[in-house]
Structures are given as C-alpha cells and as structure tokens.
Amino acid sequence: MMQESARETISNSSMSQNGMSTLSSSQLEAGSRDGRSSAGDMSSEVSTVELLHLQQQQALQAARQLLLQQPGSGLKSPKSRDKQRPLQVPVSVAMMSPQVITPQQMQQILQQQVLSPQQLQALLQQQQAVMLQQVRTLALTLNPSHLHTCPYEEQQQQQQQLAAQQLVFQQQLLQMQQLQQQQHLLNMQRQGLLSLPGPAPGQAALPGQTLPQPAGLSPAELQQFGSGTGGGGGGASPPISHHSIANGQSPALNHRRERERERERDSLHEECGGTHPLYGHGVCKWPGCENICEDFGQFLKHLNSEHALDDRSTAQCRVQMQVVQQLEIQLSKERERLQAMMAHLHMRPSEPKSSPKPLNLVSSVTMSKNLPSASPPNLPQTPTTPTAPITPMAAMPQVPSILGGANVPSMGAMRRRHSDKYSMPLSSEIAPNYEFYKNADVRPPFTYATLIRQAIMDSADMQLTLNEIYSWFTRTFAYFRRNAATWKNAVRHNLSLHKCFVRVENVKGAVWTVDEMEYQKRRSQKITGSPSLVKNLPSSLGYGSALNASLQAALAETSLPLLGTPGLMNSGSTGPMGGSCHGLLGGDPPPTMMHSAHDGFNGSLDHLDTNGHSSPGYSPPVHMPIYVKEEPLNMDEDDCPMSLVTTANHSPELDDDRELEEGNLSEDLE
DNA sequence: GTCCCAATAAACATCT
DNA sequence: AAGATGTTTATTGGGA
C-alpha cells in the first residue's frame, strides 16, 4: 500500500477513471492548485531516509552512551556559539579543500555519488588521518608543559583520559581500516557493475543536483549532543560495534596501515609548515565548527581550546566514524537495491539487448538540458557490464535524472521539452532504453508529438489509427499504462493541433500519418530558431541544402547505429539522415492507400538525398483521399519524394491482435 | 516581464 | 444512448 501510494505519487497518477479531477503533473509541480495535497512527494525516499536516520540515531546514541560512560571529568563546555551555529559547508568546498567532511556532506557525497571510488577512498583515508592527527594534537595540548593552569589532579586525569582515548582511537583506526576495506570492495563492485554518472575526479559537486537532504545527523544535533547536557535521550542504544569488525586483518590491511602511518607523519609535518587538514580557507574544518581563524596560529589556538580532547570531541569523532560506517553500509544496501532493480527492469544478463552504443545514455542525458548538470561532459563513461544499463538516476530524464530521487522530478519531463530542441529521434534515444521505458514507470522525456510521430513511423505502413497509437504508447512505455484519460486526450489534442499529423480516411476508418516535412519544419524551427529557414523549406525543394545544413547537425545523431532493438529500429530515424525505407516496400497496402508511384518518387529523390532516405511519413496530397486537415504546406507534388509507401506484410488483424493484447494490458492497469 | 511552446483540462461536435 | 474520435479553447508552467 505504501508502495502503491508512492508509485501513484511518483507517476503522477490520477483518479480520472472515477471521474474525479486528475492530478496533473503541473498540478503536482505547482503544489496542487486544486487544493489536493501532493503529500507523499518524498515518499519514494522515505525508506532510505528513514533508514539512514535510524542508523545515525544509533550512532548518535552510541556516542551519547560513550559520554555517559565517561567518568565525570567535567565536560568542557563548548562555547555556546558553537552549539548554535549551523553548519553549512558546501560539498564543493569540502572537496576543493580536503578537510574533515561533515556527516551531511558525506551523505551528500554518497547519495549523489559525486565522488569517484578513488575520491571516496581518499576521503575516508583523509578522515582517518585527520582524526588521528587531532588526537596527537590533543596529546600535545595535554602535555604537562602546556598545562600551566591545570591543577595536578586534572592533569593526571587528563593524561589517563588521553591514554584511554588513544586506545579508543586505535580501535577506531582499525574500524576505519575495515571501512576502507569495505569501501575498496564496494569500489570493486561498483566498477564492475556500472559506471556511475559522477563527475570526473576533481570535479565539484553539481550545484543543480539538489537531492533532498536526508534526515541525517545535523550539526545542531552534533553540537547539542556534544554539549553533553546529559539529555541523553535515554535510549539504551547498542554499543558501537567496531570491536567486532576490528579483527581479521590481512597483510594488505597491515600494509594499508603502514601507509596510513606515513600519511599521518606527512600530515603532522605539514602542520608544522602551517597547514592542517582541519584548517582551510581561514576556517576551522572541524565538523560543525567553521570557526573563522585569521591565521594558522589562531587556528591552532582555536583547535586546542575548542576541540580539545574532551568528551565532545571524542564523541564527535566516534559519531563521524559511525556515520561513515553507516553510510558505507547504506551505500552497500542501496547498491544492492539498485542492482536488483536493474536486474528486474531489463538488464537481465541473458538479454542480448546490451546496447551496442552504451554512450547513448550520455547523449540522452546531455540532451536533457534541464537535467541538473548531472552529466558532466567528461563524465566517466566506462560501461562496465554489457548489460550495464543506465543507472536510473542518470537515465531518468529528469529523473533525472531520471528513478528514486530523480524519479519524482521526472514528472515534468515532457513538459520541459528536452527532446525536441536538443534531442534526436526518439528511436535513437529510447532504443537502448527500450526495455527500460517499457518496464519502468518513467515518463519518457519526449513530447507527445515526438512520441506520436515515432509511433507512426514504427508502424509498418507509416500510418496508425488512433487506437493503434494508443496501443503503441502503452506498449512502449509503462508510464502510459496509467492515466489513460489524460494522455489519450493529449494524444488526440496533439494529433489535431500539429500540422505534421495528417489524418487520412481509410476503409478501416481514419488513420494518422506523419507529414515529415512539417515535422522537420517544426524541429528545425526550434533548433535554429530561424523562421527564415523554415520559410525556405517548402519552396526550395525542401530537401536542399538549407534543410540539410540546418538539420544535419541536429540529425547527425540520427545516423547512429540503431541496432539492437528491432521493434524500434525499423523506421527509427528522423528525416533525411536516418530515415529508413526498409520494410516499406513489397507489401500489400491497404486498399485505399495504394501509393503506386512511390518508386518513382524514391528515384527522383536520389539526387536529393544520397542516403536514399526520404521522409517515409510524408503524405503527398496525391495520395490523400481526404484531407481533413488543411495543410498549409503547398508542396509541389513532384517534390514529394515519398509516399506513404504502404506495405505490407503488416496484417491489420495481427496488429489488432497485438493491440488487443496490449489493450488488455493497459486496461488492466488503467 | 514577455513570448513561445508543451502539457493539461475541458467543452463540444461528429462518428460508430 | 454511449463511447470513440476529432477539434478547439483556455490555462498553466518552463524556458529563452
């Protein structure tokens, strides 16, 4: 039920079947104009967030317990401003200046997957090094020579505490090393599984990518907790379980530890030189601090005073470590879930579908300009597995960025017009993702016009009845198996509205065809934004240089190999560059749609289009038994190269059967 | 702020 | 009469 509601929310469903007003995507986006609550927007992330929150609560409580366990050594009260100051360090900052990162930042990093495995590893190591260094710094601080004002008893107590803390940190070090090992395994797994659309190393976080912040361990929480007001939340929380994972070290682990020690020495050395991992850009990088220190000396002073080896600092370290560990676990779980999802959706290893051009995802993403720059141009594109699909996040056009968090924002996909302006033929776009769109309840990032055209072009005879178009929608996109009233209305609306769709009377009734010229006109209009070009189109023999010059670039992608998905490949491409006539000849056209002259038209087109690809969907008036719609495009008939070269081996009955199947399917789902 | 485009909703007409 | 199909208008929101 929970799933159902989330699904409903995500996919912009409605209850139109019952005659109730539909909840359109725009309504959702606008925050339910009709007063209907869009509650549940975040429902898709609830589980993840809650899990993370739970885990971090555990960490928090563990740290609290640690505090409670400490003998009343007198908590060093942090300055109140530290308690209250919110922590807001952009991830990008943290990445530019490698410092201790906050739990929030870690979450962001992990969730957004903006870090490469190497970067993640480096961050973990750095965190460890920083914490260790902090211990040493604190040890220096607690050196009797520095404790001028401390009474002897207090010194003793602090030294004992230091010893104890060092022990704790040794254990924590082991834990961190264990984490690193886990991370390493995760990295291996990740690299072997899929190529994440993360930025290349060194790239900062993506500003536009604003995933909702999980209910993590807020700085306020940390500070509050650190203040140790005993508020202890009372929970008898499970103790930190790092002991259990501290065993079983391998030689590799020891080696790694050696390297860590070296790194510590280096960092200590650096500190002497005036740098400190916890100090950068004049700001203390202690988690939750951000105290402004004008110079390094001031920073050291601040560090020793504010972040001394007290319960708070220790607890913060433990919390940080716990957070890291939990995030690791979370990452692992999420990754497993992702694998399961992908396996379920279409990346069945047995499927030969493995896209011959795995980069298509990239193209699709880059086309989607409103995709929150989730795809840096130089993002690593190492398709790993043959079946390595799209990570839904990236593939989801606006789902962005495509499933999950990106899923919800994908709702306005079509409305945002990525496809028409920058994208290419639908077939080349969805072909590699055919299975994905077919199974995933994700709105395709194409306009209705684009989809309708594709539906018609996909048909054997370049014409479809309205019902067949419906069926294509439901057959091709899982998304359109719901909200039938809404999108069917939209389909009809688009068919009527756009001149590029031509209604042709048929014996069966009316069928819809595509006036490819008109369609390209629209496209070129949008691509070039130059009306003059469009003006030239009809008169200047259409397929002349103007069209090609303007469209070739746009259509270049059309010529990409469109293999691998038969269902979408037959007609696939758009326009002169990729249009395909195969499968059009040699069939039995519907009685009223005989286009006897198509060969001649094709022949005459050869000099215009060396590819021999004309606009299969173009319907020369001569073939039009009835033009219901007035076509302003007064093409000279002789210039109409193409015909609705009807064919076919395509049996309407067969199609109808299929439609029936699909229809049933859609009906079931509607 | 304006314009354009696409999505959506809805009313209405026509056809089956 | 009901539903499907087709047309048209209005509204809304995003993007340029």
For A316-353, how does the pLDDT look when each residue is reduced to its tens digit (9 = 90+)? 767 677 666 766 767 777 777 777 776 666 554 333 33
Residue from A417, A424, A420, A398 nearest A409 by CA: A398
CB-strand contact A626/C, under 7 Å: no
The average confidence (pLDDT) of chain A is: 48
Q: Residue A436 is encoded by which pair of tokens? A: 């994905």
Tokens 């004002």 sit on residue:
A149
What is d(CA A391, CA A386) in angstroms, rounded to the nearest whole number?
Answer: 13
Q: Residues 494-553, chain A: which have Cβ under 7 A from strand B?
A: 494, 509, 522, 525-526
In the predicted structure, residue A465 carries a pLDDT above the cut 70: yes
What is d(CA A388, CA A411) in angstroms, rounded to the nearest whole number?
Answer: 24
Predicted confidence band at A294 (pLDDT cuts at 50, 70, 90)?
confident
What digits encode the pLDDT tens for the residues A59-74?
445 444 443 343 333 3
In the predicted structure, residue A211 carries a pLDDT above the cut 60: no
Q: How far is the CA of A405 from the C1' of C6 (A)?
A: 38
Phi, psi of A503 (to 5 degrees): -90, 130
Cβ-contact A465, A512 below 8 angstroms: yes
What per-residue confidence (pLDDT) applies to A175? 52
In the predicted structure, residue A636 carries a pLDDT above the cut 90: no
Q: Residue A607 is encoded by which pair of tokens? A: 């000099």
Q: Residues 444-503, chain A: which have Cβ under 7 A from strand C?
A: 465-467, 470, 489, 492-493, 495-497, 503
In the predicted structure, residue A447 carries a pLDDT above the cut 70: yes
Highest mean pLDDT among A93-102, A178-187, A188-197: A178-187
Cβ-contact A14, A22 below 8 angstroms: yes
Residue A516 zone, left/alpha/beta (φ > 0; ψ -120 to 50; rest): alpha
What is d(CA A359, CA A444) in angstroms, rounded to the nearest whole number?
Answer: 18
Q: Residue A559 is encoded by which pair of tokens? A: 């010529």
What digits encode the pLDDT tens for the residues A558-576?
332 232 233 333 333 333 2
Cβ-contact A520, A554 below 8 angstroms: no
Residue whose Cα is closest to the C1' of B16 = A509
Q: How far is the CA of A80 from the C1' of B14 (A)?
A: 76
What per-residue confidence (pLDDT) applies to A549? 31
What is d(CA A309, CA A137) in angstroms, rounded to the nearest whole number?
Answer: 9
Cβ-contact A306, A79 below 8 angstroms: yes
Q: Which amino acid is at A398?
A: Q
C-alpha distances out from residue A115 to A120, A336, A489, Å: 6, 18, 44
Phi, psi of A374 (to 5 degrees): -70, -5
What per-residue confidence (pLDDT) applies to A313? 76
Contacts of A332 (CB under 8 A, 6+ apart): A182, A186
Q: Percentage of chain A surpassing pLDDT 70?
A: 21
In the predicted structure, residue A20 carries a pLDDT above the cut 90: no
Q: How far is the CA of A252 from the C1' of B5 (A)?
A: 60
Tokens 């002073």 sit on residue:
A301
C-alpha distances out from residue A147 to A79, A143, A151, Å: 20, 7, 8
Task: State the average pLDDT over residues A211-233.
Answer: 34
